[in-house]
Amino acid sequence: MLGGVVYPETNQKNQVVVRHEHGSAFYSYNTFIGAKIGSKLYLTHYHDYSQTTSKYCGQWCGYGVADRRRMLQDGRAVMVE
């Protein structure tokens, strides 16, 4: 995981947000899902892997799955490995 402070913002033991000096990262079941660095959103293909991961990813980043998919298509979000 990235260095930083872990915040269980979701109140779910398998959904974790790590805050660091440049933004935050979201993990679901110990899998990296995405990061917000400054105003840019970076997502892995796991952002919509399951209903649970998609739900908590949306709570973390503030965008529903349809919005995240549009953002990836139009370049407002970046797909990462």
Condensed to tens digits (0 to 9), the pLDDT of residues 19-76 reads 888 999 999 989 999 999 999 999 999 999 999 999 999 999 999 999 999 999 999 9
Give the pLDDT score at 2: 44
Q: What is the pTM of this model?
A: 0.85
Question: What does the alpha-carbon distance between residue 41 and residue 52 come to, in Å, rounded to a whole number?
Answer: 19
Beta strand 5-7 with 40-43 is unpaired
pLDDT at 3 over 60: no
Q: Any idea what DSSP says for residue 30?
A: T
8 pLDDT exceeds 60? Answer: no
Residues 9-24 have a mean pLDDT of: 82
C-alpha torsion angle, residues 39, 45, 47, 51 (rounded to 10): 160
